[in-house]
Structure 1
Amino acid sequence: MNWNRRDFLKNTSAAAIAAMAAGIPITKVFGANNYKNAKSTADSVILLWMAGGMPHTDTFDPKKFTPFSKGMQSNSVLSTFKSIPTALNGIHFSEGLESIGGIMDKGTLIRSYVAADMGHILHSRHQYHWHTCYKPPQSVSVPHIGSWIAKELGPLNPVIPSFINIGQRFNLGEAEELKAYHTAGFLGNEFGPFIIPDPTAGLESVQPPVGMSAARFEKRNQLYNQLIGNSPMGEYGSDYQKESLRRSMEQAYILLKSPEAKAFDLAKEKKEVYDVYNTGKFGLGCLMAKRLVEQGARFVSVTTEYEPFKGWDTHDNGYTRGVAMKKMIDGPIAQLIKDLEQSGRLDRTLVILASEFSRDMMVEGRPDAKVQEQVDQPDVIDDLKNYGMHRHFTDGGSMLMFGGGIKKGSVYGKTADQRPCKTIENPIVIDQVHQTIYHALGISPDTNYLVEKRPFYTTPDGLGKPALKLFS
């Protein structure tokens, strides 16, 4: 199904109304302005989201390579790709990631991410946890990390939305679950994501529909503002939420009329630059992220897109799917880092590559807390479709970080070389990841708001601590 403007409006309006319905008045208790160590190392964040579960042993943490052969034992396979050298002496990646390997002297490789144990594994639950730092379900609508950043720091450029999400459609499987964390929650709609489902149609997302006159568009905008205040939903939405929704529409209206809207038009790029990034929606999303950061975006998320049983969600054909995914991400990510460095923006832009959890051929969950197996992996492999990392693995995973004060040419953490390839040194969990990002931006770890007369922190109970060893 193609995404069209009607779908976009339907989904974003539903999210807005849901936020109004929550009707939660909030009061800020403590924040970045009171942070004693508020010297920031970054102004913007780009999150490169490997949706679906990127296997660490087949990407950034390769183990012993076992080539495919009929009759091979599944338990003998740790990596299905050969390892290749990187710019870091003695550090190897999996074949197919040569370009990213060539820029690892510019960032930090994390090999010890441990995902939460939440029982039966569902991608949308772990994605919710990664993006909000809270395990679902919650009694309130929890803000996305991009919304926290937009709320606390405000825009670098008042015309460009502070939080932009590129590449995820919401008319696929688990659509409602995905919408649940693509929201500013109780912070208010103005801090929610500006959603670009397809970067090739980015400019259309910030323009009136084709054929609509300026006068008609202006009238529609006025009617929308009246609807916010006069609809039945207005009875339930708090004044705070309604005013936040009004401001979000005003911001979008200003963007429509601004020269900065050209940042969404990838046709403005030189052909030779466009061609490097043009590996598909994700690659062009990286190009758009670069352009938007240049124009003052605070937080940009670019996703390979989560669609059940596609992309990194490898329940079968893990090896062949891995080949395709690497072709999609390798060149654009490396070029993004090079371009940000060349323009002088990398030092103040924190770029993160991450996934909700990893994968293994045999272990579902983690060794000491196995969960129901979701893949029938045979003990003996006779078909190439069974050759790959098909089960969800939460006890080890890889992340990359560049810029924004992060060390260059560094490796953090370690996983075991034999199955289970779990974290054995310097484990890092999601509340540390979030507070590391907030620390780079100068946002206090104590930042919280009173929601229903209870403090709600950026990380649960305000206990998250940044991983300071990641900084230079």
Structure 2
Amino acid sequence: MKYLQTRRDFLKKTSAAAMATMGMGAPLAGLLSSCESKIPTTADSVILLFMAGGMAHTETFDPKKFTPFRKGMEAKEVLSTFPSIPTKLDGIFFSEGLENIASVMDKGTLIRSYQAADLGHILHTRHQYHFHTCYEPPQSVVVPHLGSWIAKEKGPLNPVIPPFINIGQRFTVGEGEELKAFHSAGFLGSEFGPFLIPDPSAGLEAVRPPVGMDYKRFEGRNQLYNDLVAASPMGEFGSDYQKESLKRSMEQAYMLLNSPEAKAFDLSLEPKESYDRYNTGRFGLGCLLAKRLVNQGARYITVTTEYEPFFGWDTHDNGHTRLKDMKKMIDAPIAQLIKDLDQSGKLDRTLVIVASEFSRDMLTEGRPDLKVLDQVEVPDIIEDMKNYGMHRHFTDGCSVLMFGGGIKRGHIFGKTADERPCKTI
């Protein structure tokens, strides 16, 4: 019980600190009650760059001893499958493949002591639900995403731009219903829900009428939609609060469609040189879109590498090879986002966070001191390259990288063990 109480206090204080950068009141009852004093506001916006699927800390921002692949090697030898590279900070190293992010580390702060929540059986969408809402699933009601709390508590910086925007996650690629469960404003009301942009290259499609539809026809469609909503179960039986919130969300969407700010969603307007620096695919273009939307007053933006079971960071096999591709996807656009925000003067008031739901290890599933069901078979002797990599889910040590938002630049907090298990110490 003592451990659980300590974790509860830790979650309260860290959640409070994150939200305090935006000067928020407590979204959950008593969340700030354990904080001795209010932390001053240091950010206007948040960009969460979410590495969905489980990003291994020892392969990214907390590298350990490098062991190259060789046939017949023992699995227990493998701590990192990439050599270390220097960063802009003396004595701080990242994993090979993150050279661009390493070059801006003097502008960031790295936390190497984050531990994912103990939720029993390890499931990606279960831990993502907890990460984004601070609730443990399942819940008897639909609970709000942290972005929805920020949208409600702080309101929009620009009344035309949605305060909470989610970029990059589709709900048609597996476990869609589980993902939808936390992409919601829940009991806060529809107006605080996420504005969803699954494909950033098609962002403009989300904020303009269909091609070929003139203004008069669009007006007619909009009125018909309002009539249908009024006749729906929500319109007939919902509470006054729910009805008004839904009405406001529809009005906000309509206002955006007819505003000049809608151009922020159009990546074709970005200069080619800038576009190319970000264009490593959907995630890179998501970072570019996030920059454009922050410049227009978005409050909370999530850009995800997207969770799709057994793809992306969800490396159940071929971990080393697949991480090469993932690093190519994230390295240049994250660094460019930081450079651009810093150059424009926006970085000091924009908190950029790079994080994942948990980490990975070659051998340990969950935590060393808490046995959970193994989900990946790892041979003791590695003969095939597909078994070389971090394939098990690890919750006892993770890295979180932050930039801007008033945090100290060029700092590192926390440490993990240099030998397995590479847990927080």
Tell me the SS of whatever aligns to 1:183.
coil
Distance in 1 between residues matched to 2:267 and 2:346, nearest whole Å: 19
The 1:87–1:252 alpha-carbon spacing in structure 2 relative to 1, beyond 3 Å, is: same
Q: Give how far 1:51 is off.
A: 0.4
**Which residue identity is paired with 1:205?**
A
Question: 2:234·2:242 contact (CA, 8 Å) conserved in 1?
Answer: no
CA displacement, residues 196-227 of structure 1 (integer Å, 9 cap, x when unaligned): 00001010111111122211211121122222
Whether 1:364 and 2:390 are equivalent positions in the alignment is no
Whether 1:161 and 2:129 are equivalent positions in the alignment is no
CA displacement, residues 219-253 of structure 1 (integer Å, 9 cap, x when unaligned): 12112222222223333321111111111111111
Q: Is the deviation greater in 203-212 or in 288-297?
A: 203-212
Question: 2:234·2:243 contact (CA, 8 Å) conserved in 1?
Answer: no
**Which residue identity is paired with 2:310?**
F
Question: 1:85·1:101 contact (CA, 8 Å) conserved in 2?
Answer: yes
Tell me the SS of whatever aligns to 1:402.
strand
Question: 2:76·2:363 contact (CA, 8 Å) conserved in 1?
Answer: yes
CA displacement, residues 418-471 of structure 1 (integer Å, 9 cap, x when unaligned): 0000000xxxxxxxxxxxxxxxxxxxxxxxxxxxxxxxxxxxxxxxxxxxxxxx
Distance in 1 between residues matched to 2:253 and 2:191, nearest whole Å: 10
Q: Could you state the TM-score of these two structures normalised by the residue count of structure 1?
A: 0.82
For 1:105-124, what aligned pairs fall within 5 Å after superposition?
Answer: 105-124=106-125
Q: Could you say which residue in structure 1 is the equivalent of 2:127?
A: 126
Whether 1:136 and 2:137 are equivalent positions in the alignment is yes
Distance in 2 between residues matched to 1:39 and 1:282, nearest whole Å: 32
Q: Could you say which residue in structure 1 is the equivalent of 2:268?
A: 267
Tell me the SS of whatever aligns to 2:64.
coil
Distance in 2 between residues matched to 1:318 and 1:325, nearest whole Å: 10
Q: Could you say which residue in structure 2 is the equivalent of 1:45?
A: 46
Distance in 2 between residues matched to 1:232 and 1:105, nearest whole Å: 54
**Which residue identity is paired with 1:215?**
K
Question: 1:48·1:302 contact (CA, 8 Å) conserved in 2?
Answer: yes
Q: Could you say which residue in structure 2 is the equivalent of 1:85?
A: 86
CA displacement, residues 57-111 of structure 1 (integer Å, 9 cap, x when unaligned): 0000000000000000001000000000001110100000011011111010010
Q: Is the deviation greater in 114-123 or in 225-234?
A: 225-234
Q: Could you say which residue in structure 2 is the equivalent of 1:280?
A: 281
Distance in 1 between residues matched to 2:188 and 2:227, nearest whole Å: 22
Whether 1:387 and 2:388 are equivalent positions in the alignment is yes
Q: Give how far 1:38 is off.
A: 6.4
Distance in 1 between residues matched to 2:365 and 2:37, nearest whole Å: 43
Question: 1:228·1:242 contact (CA, 8 Å) conserved in 2?
Answer: no
Distance in 2 between residues matched to 1:216 and 1:388, nearest whole Å: 55
**Which residue identity is paired with 2:419?**
Q
Tell me the SS of whatever aligns to 2:79.
coil
Distance in 1 between residues matched to 2:67 and 2:279, nearest whole Å: 32
For 1:86-105, what aligned pairs fall within 5 Å after superposition?
Answer: 86-105=87-106
Q: Is the deviation greater in 231-240 or in 101-110?
A: 231-240
Question: 1:203·1:265 contact (CA, 8 Å) conserved in 2?
Answer: yes
Question: 2:114·2:400 contact (CA, 8 Å) conserved in 1?
Answer: yes
Q: Could you say which residue in structure 1 is the equivalent of 2:17?
A: none
Q: Could you say which residue in structure 1 is the equivalent of 2:208?
A: 207
Tell me the SS of whatever aligns to 2:340.
helix
Q: Give how far 1:114 is off.
A: 0.4
For 1:427-442, what aligned pairs fall within 5 Å after superposition?
Answer: none
Distance in 1 between residues matched to 2:234 and 2:403, nearest whole Å: 44
Distance in 2 between residues matched to 1:217 and 1:115, nearest whole Å: 47
**Which residue identity is paired with 1:392?**
H
**Which residue identity is paired with 1:144?**
H
Tell me the SS of whatever aligns to 2:255.
helix
Tell me the SS of whatever aligns to 2:114.
coil
Q: Could you say which residue in structure 2 is the equivalent of 1:54?
A: 55
Fraction of identical pairs, as percent? 76
**Which residue identity is paired with 2:60?**
T
CA displacement, residues 110-146 of structure 1 (integer Å, 9 cap, x when unaligned): 1011011111111000000000011101122111010
Distance in 2 between residues matched to 1:41 and 1:232, nearest whole Å: 42
For 1:239-258, what aligned pairs fall within 5 Å after superposition?
Answer: 239-258=240-259
Deviating above 6 A after TM superposition, structure 1's stretches of 4 or more consecutive aligned residues are 27-32
CA displacement, residues 354-411 of structure 1 (integer Å, 9 cap, x when unaligned): 0000000000111011211111110000110000000000000001011111110000
Q: Could you say which residue in structure 1 is the equivalent of 2:20?
A: none
Q: Could you say which residue in structure 1 is the equivalent of 2:196?
A: 195
Question: 1:128·1:136 contact (CA, 8 Å) conserved in 2?
Answer: yes
Distance in 1 between residues matched to 2:212 and 2:292, nearest whole Å: 27
Q: Is the deviation greater in 187-196 or in 212-221?
A: 212-221
Tell me the SS of whatever aligns to 2:113.
coil
The unaligned stretches of length 5 or more in structure 2 are 1-26
Whether 1:304 and 2:337 are equivalent positions in the alignment is no
Tell me the SS of whatever aligns to 1:148.
helix
Question: 2:359·2:398 contact (CA, 8 Å) conserved in 1?
Answer: yes
Q: Give how far 1:190 is off.
A: 0.5
Distance in 1 between residues matched to 2:383 and 2:339, nearest whole Å: 42
Q: Could you say which residue in structure 2 is the equivalent of 1:295?
A: 296
Question: 1:165·1:193 contact (CA, 8 Å) conserved in 2?
Answer: yes
Question: 1:159·1:251 contact (CA, 8 Å) conserved in 2?
Answer: yes
Distance in 2 between residues matched to 1:30 and 1:210, nearest whole Å: 49
Q: Could you say which residue in structure 1 is the equivalent of 2:341?
A: 340
Question: 1:62·1:92 contact (CA, 8 Å) conserved in 2?
Answer: yes
Question: 2:144·2:186 contact (CA, 8 Å) conserved in 1?
Answer: yes
CA displacement, residues 276-300 of structure 1 (integer Å, 9 cap, x when unaligned): 1000000000000000000000001
Q: Could you state the TM-score of these two structures normalised by the residue count of structure 2?
A: 0.91
Question: 1:70·1:381 contact (CA, 8 Å) conserved in 2?
Answer: yes
